[in-house]
Every structure is written in structure tokens, then in C-alpha cells.
């Protein structure tokens, strides 16, 4: 009896040792990880059809695994399961590669669009660097800048679905800034107006040459004061203008700097802004334009024509109330060269802004 029991035990040990449960293929766990990787990578978005097929293949592989696990351990066979999961893993790798390529393509495309918008923003900033009356331009450029920074964050986070709307926002603000600038520069591209300014400047320089005297030509768009002596240019200096300095002055308080042919009527060795040269604004042409504008209702009914327009010290980076500002050191240079009666011609520009506008539009 003892011999039979021993034989049975020995047989049982040998049998169960030979028929132990085979291990689940490692590809099963790898597929779990891969499925999560595909989801996080955005496969449902960037490879929707392939990802859908992948899930079907994975589902079939899982069914095979479940069927094998339902059997007694020593009857389980994972060869077919292993092959199915290997095929799934290969399919997943192909999808991951496609997702990566799609993302890189989108990243390049979005980066290119952002670079073009940044270039437009940069050109607008350069074009308006010395312009005071660019509130609307600056406001839109600031908004475009904020949206651009937000777009860069989305790009780094690979939030490509949110980027088209953000780029649309940037483009809108940049376009608004461009149109505001074009509105400011519109008359600076009118050949008739620019020709008149050139004529004024040429007459002033010719008068300086003929009489052997000093003359001043102020270019508002370039923000320069050119000093001539006997018709020869002896100095070019940077200037500051009023808040709406690129506009032609019509009335008191409009924040514009006048345009026309004037002369110095008083030298002030001491003034609120260091030293100053008072010019004869308003002249007869200014009064005529003021009267016409008043009749047409283009200016406030109670507004006066204004006056006390000066070239003064105090700096070229501050906003004046219609005057032309220069650095104190510059005023020290030009003050002794200028006498009462010196011609002062203020022009918008001697070059058409048409090329600038065309370049920005392109």
C-alpha cells in the first residue's frame, strides 16, 4: 500500500512539473504600453484610420489571449497569441512613425506661419519706431505679440488643433495695425503732396544760397532737422514731434505739428525747454486753411487756430504739443547759427511713402 502511494505521488509531481502553465508572452505587456503611447501621441487625431484598424487588431489579439487564459494551465498555448501581438506591435510602430511625421509637418507649417507673422510685426515696429501717432498700431501689435507668445506655448505643447484659431487672431491684429499705419501714411504717398514739399525745401535752400544766410528744413517722416548755411548742409539732427506730429496742424490742441514755410520771429535763450526758437505759426496760409476747415465743420466750433510753435531743447524723445524738440546739445549748436528771420520750412517728407506701403503690403 505504501509503495502504491509513493508511486502516485511521484507520478503526480512529474506530471504537473511537465505540464506547468506557460507564461503569457511579453508582447502583451508591451502592447499595453504602446496603446497608451499612441493615445498620448495623438494617434486618434493624426492617424485616425490607422489607429482605428490598430484597435481592431488589438481587440482580436486580446480575444485570443482571453480564450487561452480560459483553458487549464497545462492546455494553454500562446504561440498564436504571441504572433498576433507581434503584428499589433509592428502596426503600432508604423502608426507612431506616421504621427511623428505628421506632427513634424504641422510644426514646420505652423512655425513658418508664425515666422511670417513675426516678420510683419517686426517691420511694423521698425516703420513706426519714430511715430508718436501710432496708438492703434501699437495696441494691435501688442495684442498680436501676446497671441504670438501664446501660440509658441501651444506649439511647444503640440496643441496643433488650437493653433489655427490663434494664428488667425495674430493675423487679424497685424492686419489692423497695417491698415492703421497705411491710414497715417496715406498722404505721404500722394505724389502731388510730396512734390509740393520738395518744392518748399528746394526754395528754402536756394534762398539760403542766394542770400548767404542760414536756413532750416524739418522732415517730419524722417524726424530730422537739417541746418543749411549759404545753401550748404552743415548739420542733420534728430528731432521729436508732437503726439500727432505726422499730421498737419489745423487748430489748437490737435496735437499736430504744422507744415509750411515759416521764419524765426524770436530767439529765447532761456525757456521752459532750455532754449527755443519761436516761429511765425500761424501764417497767412495756415489762417486760410483754418477758416476753410471751420466752415466745413472739420474742427470743433470753439477751437482756435493756436500758436507758440517752437523749435526747442528738452530732448528729442519726448512728445511735444506741436513743437519740434531737440537735445539740449543740439540746441547749443544751432542757436548761435540762427537769427531772427531765418527761414524754417517744415515738410512731411521729401520721399514718397508709397514704396514703404507697398513693401509692407507685400
Task: Using only the alpha carbons of the chain, give its radius of gyration.
Answer: 40
pLDDT at position 115: 93
Per-residue pLDDT of the chain (362 residues; tens, 9 = 90+): 545 455 555 445 444 444 578 999 999 999 999 999 999 999 998 999 999 999 999 999 999 999 999 998 889 999 999 999 999 999 999 999 999 999 999 999 999 999 999 998 888 887 777 676 667 888 898 999 999 999 999 999 888 889 999 999 999 999 998 888 888 778 888 888 999 999 999 999 999 999 999 999 999 988 999 999 999 999 999 998 887 778 888 888 888 899 999 999 999 999 888 999 999 999 999 899 888 988 888 888 888 888 889 999 988 776 677 899 999 999 999 999 999 999 999 999 888 877 666 666 66
pLDDT at position 180: 84
DSSP letters, 38-90, are HHHHTHHHHSHHHHHHHHHHHHHHHHHHHHHHTS-GGG---HHHHHHHHHHHH
CATH class of segment(s) 191-350: mainly beta
pLDDT at position 362: 61
End-to-end CA distance of the chain: 105
pLDDT at position 302: 84
The domain spans of the chain are 22-101, 110-187, 191-350
Q: Sign of dihedral through CA atoms 331, 332, 333, 336? A: positive
Reference 353, options 227, 204, 224, 183; nearest CA is 183
d(C-alpha 247, C-alpha 97), whole Å: 59
pLDDT at position 359: 63
pLDDT at position 335: 95
pLDDT at position 316: 72
d(C-alpha 343, C-alpha 6), whole Å: 130
d(C-alpha 229, C-alpha 235), whole Å: 9
Amino acid at each position: 500500500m505504501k509503495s502504491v502511494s509513493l508511486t502516485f505521488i511521484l507520478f503526480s509531481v512529474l506530471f504537473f512539473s511537465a505540464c506547468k502553465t506557460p507564461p503569457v508572452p511579453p508582447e502583451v505587456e508591451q502592447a499595453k504600453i504602446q496603446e497608451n503611447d499612441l493615445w498620448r501621441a495623438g494617434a486618434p487625431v493624426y492617424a485616425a484610420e490607422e489607429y482605428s484598424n490598430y484597435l481592431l487588431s488589438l481587440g482580436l489579439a486580446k480575444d485570443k489571449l482571453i480564450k487561452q487564459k480560459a483553458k487549464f494551465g497545462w492546455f494553454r498555448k500562446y504561440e498564436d497569441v504571441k504572433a498576433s501581438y507581434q503584428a499589433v506591435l509592428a502596426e503600432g510602430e508604423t502608426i507612431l512613425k506616421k504621427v511623428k511625421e505628421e506632427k513634424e509637418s504641422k510644426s514646420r507649417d505652423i512655425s513658418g506661419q508664425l515666422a511670417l507673422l513675426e516678420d510683419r510685426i517686426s517691420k511694423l515696429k521698425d516703420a513706426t519706431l519714430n511715430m508718436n501717432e501710432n496708438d492703434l498700431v501699437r495696441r494691435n501689435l501688442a495684442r498680436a505679440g501676446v497671441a504670438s507668445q501664446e501660440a509658441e506655448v501651444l506649439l511647444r505643447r503640440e496643441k496643433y488643433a488650437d493653433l489655427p484659431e490663434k494664428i488667425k487672431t495674430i493675423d487679424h491684429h497685424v492686419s489692423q495695425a497695417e491698415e492703421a499705419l497705411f491710414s497715417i501714411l496715406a498722404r505721404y504717398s500722394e505724389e502731388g503732396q510730396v512734390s509740393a514739399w520738395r518744392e518748399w525745401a528746394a526754395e528754402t535752400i536756394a534762398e539760403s544760397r542766394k542770400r548767404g544766410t542760414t536756413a532750416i528744413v524739418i522732415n517730419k517722416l524722417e524726424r530730422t532737422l537739417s541746418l543749411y548755411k549759404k545753401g550748404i548742409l552743415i548739420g542733420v539732427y534728430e528731432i521729436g514731434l508732437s503726439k500727432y506730429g505726422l499730421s498737419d496742424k489745423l487748430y489748437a490742441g490737435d496735437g499736430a505739428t504744422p507744415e509750411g514755410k515759416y521764419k524765426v520771429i524770436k530767439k529765447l535763450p532761456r525757456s521752459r525747454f532750455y532754449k527755443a526758437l519761436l516761429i511765425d505759426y500761424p501764417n497767412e496760409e495756415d489762417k486760410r486753411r483754418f477758416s476753410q476747415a471751420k466752415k466745413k465743420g472739420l474742427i470743433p466750433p470753439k477751437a482756435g487756430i493756436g500758436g507758440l510753435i517752437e523749435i526747442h531743447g528738452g530732448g528729442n524723445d519726448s512728445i511735444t504739443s506741436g513743437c519740434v524738440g531737440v537735445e539740449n546739445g543740439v540746441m547749443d549748436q544751432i542757436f548761435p547759427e540762427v537769427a531772427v528771420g531765418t527761414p524754417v520750412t517744415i515738410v512731411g517728407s521729401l520721399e514718397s511713402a508709397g514704396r514703404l506701403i507697398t513693401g509692407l503690403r507685400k
